[in-house]
Amino acid sequence: MSRYAGHVQIVTTEHQGIRRGVTITAACSVSDSPPMVLACLNNSNPSNAVLFESGHFALNTLGAHHQDLANAFAGFGKLSAEDRFAQAEWQVMETGSPVLVDAIVAFDCVVTDRKVTNTHTVLFGEVKAVHFGEREPSLIYLDRGYHTL
């Protein structure tokens, strides 16, 4: 799978005052009417419980300048959840999930379904709001390293 390029994104949520997020590279659009996306989450991620309980998430698409943020939410540096969020500016839209202010684009979603498939859980979300950031090169993960496109 290391040869399969993926757009780097951070999935975030908030539930009962607890914010969680994780870096992923497996996400895509599912439908345009209603607008839906999916995100694939590794089942070993300790943040999944909060993501599943909240019933909503934001899919934040990262730009080239977000490498450090991607690493933080991937668990490098062993930062606490709140210290990860302190690395950037966040806002809230419709669902209450944290939305990255300088994301290329962010989709604020309610969970419509989830499917466990071997090592990952596929989270389906109906888009309730969209945040458009500045156009800039995208952050891509390929061959175990970051690239831009």
Please give the Cα distance from 102 to 113 (Å, whole number): 28
Per-residue pLDDT reduced to its tens digit, 14-62: 999 999 999 999 999 999 999 999 999 999 999 999 999 999 999 999 9
Token pair belonging to 146: 């970051």
Domains of the chain: 6-148 (2.30.110.10)
In this structure, the number of other CB atoms found within 10 A of the CB of residue 16 comes to 7
Per-residue pLDDT reduced to its tens digit, 51-86: 999 999 999 999 999 999 999 999 999 999 999 999
Per-residue pLDDT reduced to its tens digit, 86-138: 999 999 999 999 999 999 999 999 999 999 999 999 999 999 999 999 999 99
